[in-house]
Amino acid sequence: MSSTTSEPLAPVARLTGRPLAVLLVLCGALFLEGIDVAMLNIALPAIRADLGLTTGELQWVMSAYILGYGGFMLLGGRAADLFGRRRVFLVPLVVFLAFSGLGAIATEGWMLIAARVVTGVAAAFMTPAGLSIITTMFAEGAARNRAVLIYSGVGAAGFSIGLVAGGLLTVLGWRWVFIAPVILSALLLALAIPLIPKVGADPAARGRLDVLGAVTITAALVVLVLTIEQAPHTPALLTAAGLVSSAALIAAFVAIERRASHPLVRLGVLRSAPLVRANLGGALLAAAFMGFQFIVVLYLQEFRGWTALETSLAMLVVAIDGILAPTLTPRLVARFGTRRVAAAGFVSAIASYALFLPVASDWTYAAMFPSFLLLGIAYTLAYGPLTIAATDGVVESEQGLASGLLYTASQFGGALGLSIATAVYIAAADAVADPLETYRLALIVPLATAVLALVITVVGRPRRVRRA
């Protein structure tokens, strides 16, 4: 694999040599994205205390990144197909580095939120480019499946390890959760430049970027999340107007894509039932997890008085997916198929959230441990198979699009789940006298979301098991 060629490279069938080195660098980038989000989650109470943010503003520190990420993911995936996956990976990595540094020096809530928006947009271009490099570098079948499972497993591990790293760094000061990604980004950039081949744009991918479509769908997501987050303190008429506006923007997006000569999303790709189920599953998986983690962190740190380090160590067991996803999940997928393994993951998620629902003020860590363990197993079983199902069978010229669809669904789901859980939490805090009941009511949101995900995953004709 020459690093100077601009011709398409033949897919390889083995994870060895330079392809393996490229895979590890791309895994590092997804690890960076995961650890960045998770570290910030743990640092939220410290950020609130220092900058004086309300619960709604605190939620937007997370949602700003998620909406920038999810809103421009489709544009990023399409850009990777049109302009070359290496370029669309490296340039956003530089932007990610720069604006992580800006977050580290933020002195006002709006500065922090603005920095998170831009880093989210950078990740929206970088992440689908990385996944499409993998899916075009390895031949479809056993080699690609294993590469994708390793990639998704490392990404999940980044999120889990970030929970611990966030606690450790917050002890030094919450700004370190932004400084650490700067250091890691610089290291990845130094490795990626010589390793990732200089392959040009896919010759089968033609046209230009559908910026109007990207802006429309991003606006739809922002309006929807903002409407839900503000619902507890907004008249019903305004909430209804926000929901109608979001629906109108989504309808406008569909109309734009139907008429565009080079659409952001070729709507025909959505005729694949497995692809649609995988994207819905990814959205609901992220929605449940983001809502659950946000409420649990507030419960542990603000209700129970735990430190950020104690909180992160308590949730360390979730990182078990970083060990099991690259080792156990490929074997399970080879034997049982992606959908059965993903369904088992959602069953584990349901059990996790259900066990935490009766949370009490005097719960010991032993009472919480089963929920955290089952959550790690849920991500072990669900995340990788959903990634395979979302990209399997898609032509090479649309691998960036397929990757963008999956990550858009996941990030939109995460933002929506977070905003719904926050809205329920705020409404419950005003309606009930017992603060503990507030957490219990908010925890119903991730539980119901996981149940819906399981139903969607098991509905429809099973796909034939592909054996390695």
What's domain 15-197's architecture? Answer: Up-down Bundle (1.20)
Give the residue among 377, 385, 384 at the shortest CA–CA distance from 352.
377
Q: How far apart are the first and last CA of the chain?
A: 25
- 207 Ramachandran zone, left/alpha/beta (phi>0; psi -120 to 50): left
Task: Categorize the per-residue pLDDT at 5 as very low, low, confident or very high, splitting at 50, 70 and 90.
Answer: very low
The partner residues of 12 in beta bridges, in order of sequence, read 138
The yes-or-no verdict on residue 48 having pLDDT over 70 is yes
Residue 458 is predicted with a pLDDT of 84
What's domain 265-460's architecture? Answer: Up-down Bundle (1.20)
For 289-331, the pLDDT digits (tens) are 989 988 998 899 889 999 878 888 888 888 787 778 778 888 8
Task: Categorize the per-residue pLDDT at 357 as very low, low, confident or very high, splitting at 50, 70 and 90.
Answer: very high
| Cβ neighbours of residue 419 closer than 8 Å, sequence gap 6 or more | 59, 63, 225, 226, 228, 229
Task: Categorize the per-residue pLDDT at 373 as very low, low, confident or very high, splitting at 50, 70 and 90.
Answer: very high
In the chain, % of residues over pLDDT 90: 26
Question: pTM of whole model > 0.85?
Answer: no
